[in-house]
């Protein structure tokens, strides 16, 4: 199956977010027209506004990267926001895409959709086979609903739409707010600020024993464009690096990159979350895609981009739309 992007009009929903902006960069070489719509243009939580906007813009394809995202503490603290806002955004966009005959749609989920104790590495068929991780079950349920809605439109209306499940992502334009961010940007910022302050330690959340898989946003964007062009199937596709690392070792790696030599302390009043969520990348590898950016190299690039001249910390809001 091939879907040539040249001369197509592709809406990147969530174009300002870390993933959305990486997809916009990746599409630059495809000869397509990228449609952008900030929330000043259309409120994605307003069904009427989304239908009106879509009927005027009539994109040929949509990369649905708009979502309310955040780390473990934000997810655990704002369950209504993570469930309700993500349900509204995806339902409005997917339904309006159907009403406007959008040819291709790629829905973006997350690796937290899988059961807390799924056998590792986690394959796509582990979905809905066990209880979710409590700290982010609301976001997970919203994303599972999105996967199912895409499948429903394939089944009932023959829509050639697909879903992708990225692992924990990091990259340029990440959220560095220490309360709402994911672990990797938080550790980069903590090590950097400790170095500037001459502090003798940084404090990480939890025990440092959970393991996480990381993929650079530019690798993720490359995989998403690859799938948009080549994949058609009911089953969602995992997008990961295929390697995971204990959080404590990640903190050590970040300190090496930042050149901070202090102690790494653990605040065990904060949650660990799921012990591990390494995904199987076999399905995507068999299609011929593989990541290019190694973790150390990727962290160093993010550090240069956001902290080299000690940029003001871009504490992006929790809402990356």
In this chain, which residue has its C-beta nearest to ligand GFB? 71
Given the rule CB under 6 A, which residues bind ligand GFB? 71-72, 75, 110-112, 135-136, 139, 168, 181-183, 186, 204-206, 210, 212, 247, 270-273
Provide, rounded to whole angstroms, the least separation between the CB of residue 167 and ligand GFB: 7
Q: Of these residues, 139, 170, 231, 303, which one is catalytic? A: 139
Tokens 């950016």 appear where?
293
The arrangement of strands across the sheet holding 162-166 comes to 33-35, 9-13, 61-64, 104-108, 162-166, 237-239
Provide, rounded to whole angstroms, the least separation between the CB of residue 246 and ligand GFB: 10
Tokens 């973790």 appear where?
295
Q: What is the 3-state secondary structure (H, E, C) of 238-249?
A: EECCCCEEEHHH
Provide, rounded to whole angstroms, the least separation between the CB of residue 58 and ligand GFB: 32
Provide, rounded to whole angstroms, the least separation between the CB of residue 157 and ligand GFB: 29
For residue 139, indicate whether it is catalytic. yes
Give the end-to-end CA distance of the chain in Å, rounded to a whole number: 30
Residue 27's closest CA among 41, 42, 7, 44? 7
Q: Which is nearer to ligand GFB, 194 or 204 (CB)?
A: 204
Tokens of 144: 């599972």
CA atoms within 13 A on the CB side of 94: 27
Q: Which is nearer to ligand GFB, 151 or 168 (CB)?
A: 168
Per-residue exposure over 70-105, b if at least 16 CB sit within 10 Å of its own CB, e if not: bbbbbbbebbebbbebbbbbbbbbbbbbbebebebb
Provide, rounded to whole angstroms, the least separation between the CB of residue 37 and ligand GFB: 24
Residue 169's closest CA among 218, 234, 233? 218
Catalytic residue numbers read: 139
């Amino acid at each position: 199956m091939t879907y040539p992007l040249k001369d197509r009009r592709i809406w990147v929903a969530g174009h300002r977010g870390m993933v959305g902006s990486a997809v916009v960069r990746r599409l630059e070489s495809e000869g397509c027209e990228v449609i952008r719509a900030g929330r000043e243009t259309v409120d994605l939580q307003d069904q009427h506004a989304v239908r009106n906007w879509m009927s005027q813009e009539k994109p040929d394809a949509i990369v649905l990267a708009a979502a309310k995202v955040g780390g473990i503490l934000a997810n655990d603290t704002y369950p209504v926001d993570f469930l309700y806002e993500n349900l509204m955004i995806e339902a409005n966009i997917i339904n309006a895409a159907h009403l406007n005959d959008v040819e291709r749609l790629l829905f973006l989920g997350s690796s937290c959709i899988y059961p807390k104790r799924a056998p590792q590495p986690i394959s796509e068929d582990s979905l809905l086979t066990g209880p979710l991780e409590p700290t982010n079950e609301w976001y997970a349920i919203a994303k599972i609903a999105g996967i199912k809605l895409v499948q429903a439109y394939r089944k009932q209306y023959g829509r050639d739409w697909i879903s992708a499940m990225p692992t924990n992502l990091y990259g340029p334009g990440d959220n560095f707010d220490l309360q709402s961010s994911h672990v990797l940007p938080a550790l980069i910022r903590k090590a950097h600020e400790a170095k500037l302050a001459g502090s003798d330690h940084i404090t990480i959340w939890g025990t440092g024993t959970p393991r996480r898989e990381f993929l650079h946003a530019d690798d993720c964007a490359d995989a998403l464009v690859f799938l948009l062009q080549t994949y058609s199937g009911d089953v969602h596709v995992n997008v990961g690096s295929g390697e995971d690392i204990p959080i404590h070792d990640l903190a050590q790696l970040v300190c090496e990159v930042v050149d901070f030599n202090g102690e790494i302390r653990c605040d065990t009043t904060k949650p660990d979350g799921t012990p591990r969520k390494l995904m199987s990348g076999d399905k995507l590898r068999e299609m011929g895609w593989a990541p290019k950016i190694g973790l150390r190299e990727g962290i160093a690039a993010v550090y240069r981009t956001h902290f080299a001249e000690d940029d003001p910390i871009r504490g992006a809001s929790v809402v990356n739309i």
